[in-house]
Structure 1
């Protein structure tokens, strides 16, 4: 079949009496070889076509390189178009290309994106008060100098709706020109979730700190994992000193076995109570009434409870005993 194709090309040269350049593929013992052949008619003294002459160049490696480039470009274009993040290519004039995700993110068509500058998608100032224009210029300059950057950015859609974005900037070179590649991820929902968690944590902290006694939360190893400000104030320990303390650290030797049994009751039965002196930093012992309930968080069990200073109650009981 290949020989027939070559012979057909030769006939075209002679029958058409013209120079002909064609790519010809031949299969050899070493594999497929591609030639670029230039052929022309051979004339006798009278000008009649009596044959054909030609020159062939082996372009196999060039063809392979071209195919690899085409395949690479195809893969890049597929990744570019199907990415879940917005991808932008910028130069000194603004956006020169972007994928559909990027255009949708900004509320524009791809045609409308061309030539836009980063300030077309930014408010006057970022949440920290810095001018967007100055901050953007500094970050773009750093990225063009070869420093890969990743940062959060307050952005605007075409209708003025703000959205939180995570940007990655990198310098890229294509066709001898330098560009800035920006990969943009809309993190609005993530930021809202983080803010909701932060609000919930603040609310929980406010509730815990408003309790009339000391609040504590111990894991199933008896390690203190959460407490309120009153716990620090009542015992004289700082938040750093509270870290790593265990439930039995608060009690003298004569009360440790009793407290341990009550803690075990919480994990076994779900609830328990205890009265015992609490050892504080200055070495004194303060009588407390302790509650303990079993709580489950993220699949782990904890003891949570409140301790109430019963010094006044103990004093009143002692006075009544004396009067009796």
Structure 2
């Protein structure tokens, strides 16, 4: 035997024939591979191709039309005709299609993007007998590329420094990180170990490399970790920072993304605020309160040392008098002060007043003064005794807090989303104006209401469950309909997080109107099922409806019929008047037939100039009559650009036990007979 001569004794090399070995390799390829004949029918599929299209087995589709089963379309979802199909062109031209990127559909109707290669299959004489196609699902890759593009735009535009590393080296960084770390360009950072951006030790004494590894392990296990860190730029300057370290899962494996913000100014401001608070505490302890007495009969005025200091004077530097005191008052507050004193002396026990003073150096201070009237037994005022306190710092802090509160309110009201703060019972505690504007409910009516009362009653229980989940796990997300001021139900995406404020637990969240997103989703669904030119159902949608009608007929014993028709001599219309005129003819035919058929009938564009009608609850004779009246109506219609046109129709009725392909074959034969019989006629089977 040849094998015995070719191999040494004891060899374990396989003796499989070359054809069997090729078949075995083909079956085990990860890439889908299938073959078609010149008619576009499947001749073989390997396992990967069978799985990709969702077929139960290769045998279930061998010999069937691959074009209709896979719904081959371009990247925009426009389905190819057989003649336009790139695979068909490869067979016609005899030239391989090196690479193509189009959309296909699985047997369950779900679409996917694919990259494919088509090679003509030649016989011994060099004639094309079909094609071999290699196909690969790239949907996930395309989505990943789009996501990465969006991320890159945010990455580059971020004002915070962002670095991506694998714990061994920085592999990417944004322009803000180049500026923050003093690098000449991104190349000056990429490839460096992350530890080179830190001093040897952190302020608490921990070695930076050891502490960084700890945070990295937490980020990898928990998803993210935030902390303060002492950084060092390439010039050796150290600065405090705030770091958010997050795990990023890429195809190559997990990486770490560090978002770094220089907090030097923030810490300086915090320290300044701490000093101010310490000074204020000391002032409160010492009262920072001056006392005074004004003798009304003599006009004598006495101040404590603290009063002198408040007015910017050295203690006991001068003998104060009332007129001298009035010169310290701010001109805009003088009249108000004198009215308060006069009212107290007239019949009041005293007064309490805030006013501004101008110190000798021009500095303006705000003081709070309390005065009490001392009267004799007859009620005549003898003197005024009181206190004065410098509250400038207090008022400045209150102004800052008010400004901060106003800023927060402005930011919340400026958000395009709805903001809300709930108590643990789901009652509204705080919200922005958007909630009032969208719902049309006033502030008085919103406060204390359950947020569930504002949504669609059908969504209320789900919303309450989402709030309970937020309390339990920290966050939740839900879509629900929000009742608007014009009584519409607008779809909103609500996100909610558990927060702790002033010792209490609250639920803070946002609601975003997703009406446009829902509209786009519906539009995509419509485009997937409708012919772009005529607006009618496309072939894929018609086959789906036909499958459902056949299943209904099997289950309930109902009858239905199918009509297939096309435009006679349509090629002449395209060649003579142009494809634009041909497109308008197709649209006009769709309109005419759509006006002719019943509302329950389904009209679809089958492909090219072919159309299909599904007539439910309709027997063969009634279907033939409707088809004939349609033929007459089209024949009588006026087509200004192309002249009168006719159509040929094939009609068939569902026969119990037959399949959709068998029924379509019969109606196609009937249409063929109408064509062969001279066109402009109806033939039923």
Instruction: Tell me whether the two structures share a fold, i.e. TM-score over 0.5.
Output: yes
Indicate how the Cα distance of structure 1 residues 95 and 216 shifts in structure 2: closer, same or farther if over 3 A, else same. Answer: farther
* Equivalence for 2:336: 135
* Equivalence for 1:202: 406
* Equivalence for 1:178: 382
Q: For 1:172 and 1:266, locate their aligned partners in 2 and report how far apart those are by CA, in whole Å.
A: 62
Task: Kindly provide the CA deviation profile for residues 49-102 of structure 1, in whole angstroms up to 9, marking residues without a partner as x.
Answer: xxxxxxxxxxxxxxxxxxxxxxxxxxxxxxxxx975211112456552122222
Q: For 1:205 and 1:83, locate their aligned partners in 2 and report how far apart those are by CA, in whole Å.
A: 35
* Equivalence for 1:49: none
Aligned pairs for 1:35-46 within 5 A: none
CA contact (8 A) 2:345 2:381 kept: no
Indicate how the Cα distance of structure 1 residues 264 and 279 shifts in structure 2: closer, same or farther if over 3 A, else same. Answer: same
Q: For 1:113 and 1:268, locate their aligned partners in 2 and report how far apart those are by CA, in whole Å.
A: 69
Q: Is residue 224 of structure 1 aligned with residue 425 of structure 2?
A: no
CA contact (8 A) 2:456 2:480 kept: no
SS at match of 2:318: helix
CA contact (8 A) 1:170 1:182 kept: yes
Q: For 1:113 and 1:209, locate their aligned partners in 2 and report how far apart those are by CA, in whole Å.
A: 55
Q: Is residue 125 of structure 1 aligned with residue 332 of structure 2?
A: yes
* Equivalence for 2:562: none
* Equivalence for 1:112: 318
* Equivalence for 2:259: none
CA contact (8 A) 2:295 2:301 kept: yes
Q: For 1:308 and 1:113, locate their aligned partners in 2 and report how far apart those are by CA, in whole Å.
A: 68
Query: What is the root-mean-square deviation in Å for CA atoms of aligned residues?
Result: 2.4
Q: Is residue 237 of structure 1 aligned with residue 438 of structure 2?
A: no
Deviation at 1:177, TM superposition (A): 7.1
Greater CA drift, 276-285 or 215-224: 276-285
Task: Kindly provide the CA deviation profile for residues 118-150 of structure 1, in whole angstroms up to 9, marking residues without a partner as x.
Answer: 313212223xxxxx1x22321221111241211
CA contact (8 A) 1:273 1:290 kept: yes
If asked which structure has higher relative contact order (CA below 8 Å, sep 6+), I would say: 1
Aligned pairs for 1:2-13 within 5 A: none
Q: For 2:456 and 2:287, locate their aligned partners in 1 and report how far apart those are by CA, in whole Å.
A: 63
* Equivalence for 1:97: 302
Deviation at 1:234, TM superposition (A): 0.9
Q: For 2:343 and 2:360, locate their aligned partners in 1 and report how far apart those are by CA, in whole Å.
A: 27
Q: For 1:295 and 1:177, locate their aligned partners in 2 and report how far apart those are by CA, in whole Å.
A: 57
* Equivalence for 1:145: 346
CA contact (8 A) 2:492 2:511 kept: yes
Greater CA drift, 278-287 or 182-191: 278-287
* Equivalence for 1:268: 472
Task: Kindly provide the CA deviation profile for residues 218-273 of structure 1, in whole angstroms up to 9, marking residues without a partner as x.
Answer: 12221211111211111111222222222211123321121111111212211111
Q: Is residue 303 of structure 1 aligned with residue 507 of structure 2?
A: yes
Q: For 2:289 and 2:499, locate their aligned partners in 1 and report how far apart those are by CA, in whole Å.
A: 41
**Which residue among 251, 255, 260 is the counterpart of 2:459?**
255
Indicate how the Cα distance of structure 1 residues 262 and 150 shifts in structure 2: closer, same or farther if over 3 A, else same. Answer: same
Indicate how the Cα distance of structure 1 residues 258 and 83 shifts in structure 2: closer, same or farther if over 3 A, else same. Answer: closer
What TM-score, normalized to structure 2? Answer: 0.33
SS at match of 1:144: helix
Between the two proteins, the alignment pairs up a number of residues equal to 237
Q: For 1:308 and 1:223, locate their aligned partners in 2 and report how far apart those are by CA, in whole Å.
A: 19
Task: Kindly provide the CA deviation profile for residues 273-310 of structure 1, in whole angstroms up to 9, marking residues without a partner as x.
Answer: 11011123443311111111222221222211211111
Deviation at 1:164, TM superposition (A): 0.9
Greater CA drift, 289-298 or 188-197: 289-298
From the two aligned structures, give the one with the greater strand fraction: 1
What TM-score, normalized to structure 1? Answer: 0.67
Greater CA drift, 190-199 or 236-245: 236-245
Indicate how the Cα distance of structure 1 residues 125 and 101 shifts in structure 2: closer, same or farther if over 3 A, else same. Answer: same
Q: For 2:433 and 2:287, locate their aligned partners in 1 and report how far apart those are by CA, in whole Å.
A: 48
* Equivalence for 2:358: 156
CA contact (8 A) 1:88 1:95 kept: no
